[in-house]
A and B are shown apart, each in its own frame.
Chain A
């Protein structure tokens, strides 16, 4: 029976995040089914929970999670480990599929091949960010947030609620939602600064 929720730990260190990234690369390079099965085991239940929170129906969430994982297979060749961690990339696939299905439109994005695209030519831009390390830091910074801030961040990403709806749901004033979110963002950014 699907529909039971429980917490399962995500990658705790960069090595694990890198393993997730290498699975996507293997799917792209050699249509590696074993790697895909690993990705599926890790991400499909997470994407299903994500979809469930927007759709509220476990059958629908199951179908969308399967569709998202099919896109992971199909789009694996577009994954660039220098640009995003596996969890980030799969989050954007799930987000775009959700907007496509629930709002019947495409998420409007920057086209990297757009001739009008302006590239950062400052020296800092050349610095190579290790996206997997970064993803792990963001995750632990998020886990360290006080519960009241964490829930606001989660509701921001996991439910289609405006700030005033979040305020209503948590039964707190709108100003409190905004200040908790601002505090959380400051902390998340502050937590990352030491490493960049």
Chain B
């Protein structure tokens, strides 16, 4: 996979520090599954978090904190040994089954985890029509802040010119599109701030499937009336 467009460093740092909304986090983790470079960058930002932990102030623990934790660990270990002995025979069967029975998923795990169990590939997604040439699937709302949805756009269809109110990221999963910023292919991320206006067009014979995460759900509603009068590009 030849990924050319990545989340900004700021977005990756916010992922590492644990500040992104769940919608954004999902998109970044899905991209990272496909992008070793961003995995390495996030590892670097996490090392920065480790350095912050080392250099920041400390707060002394209660006098008996360690004893307390050791006691809890001991209790837990005692319970686990019993459970483990009881379960070990059944567990072996379960592992064997999962190895022979599972299909190789084509959807990266962070995203697959939020799709219905019977969805094994992007084709199985229960799409809902949004406008001619545009289908979508809204992922089960996770945190109230932000929304995340999958969109499927027919070849040649353009998403009308729209600005961004708040942070919006798009991860391309299939096909390609082109806009004022450049050409986006599977694995690429468009990480757009408030001030970008763009008008993406699915520019090949293949349909385009993307994951869109936003921290400002209102904007999409304003886009909808425009979508209902689409024009066919190319």
Which residues of chain A have a CB within 8 Å of any CB of chain B?
2-8, 10-11, 33, 36-37, 40-41, 43-50, 52, 58, 61-62, 65-66, 69-70, 73-74, 83-92, 94-96, 98-99, 103, 105, 107-111, 114-120, 125, 131, 134-135, 138-139, 141-143, 153-154, 156-158, 160, 162, 178, 181, 185, 188-189, 192
Contacts and interface: CB of A to CB of B under 8 A. Distances in A.
A143 B48 CA distance: 11
B59 to A, nearest CB: 4
A118 B36 CA distance: 7
Interface stretch (B19-27, B154-162, B197-205, B226-234): B19-27
A129 B125 CA distance: 41
B216 to A, nearest CB: 13
B59 A48 contact: yes
B48 A138 contact: yes
B55 interface: yes
Contacts of A91: 46, 49-50, 52-53
A153 B14 CA distance: 11
Contacts of B105: 115-116
Interface SS, B side? helix
B143 A103 contact: yes
A92 B43 CA distance: 10
Given A36-B70, A45-B59, A156-B17, 12 more contacts: A2-B61, A41-B66, A44-B66, A46-B53, A46-B56, A73-B73, A110-B33, A118-B34, A118-B187, A158-B56, A188-B48, A192-B44
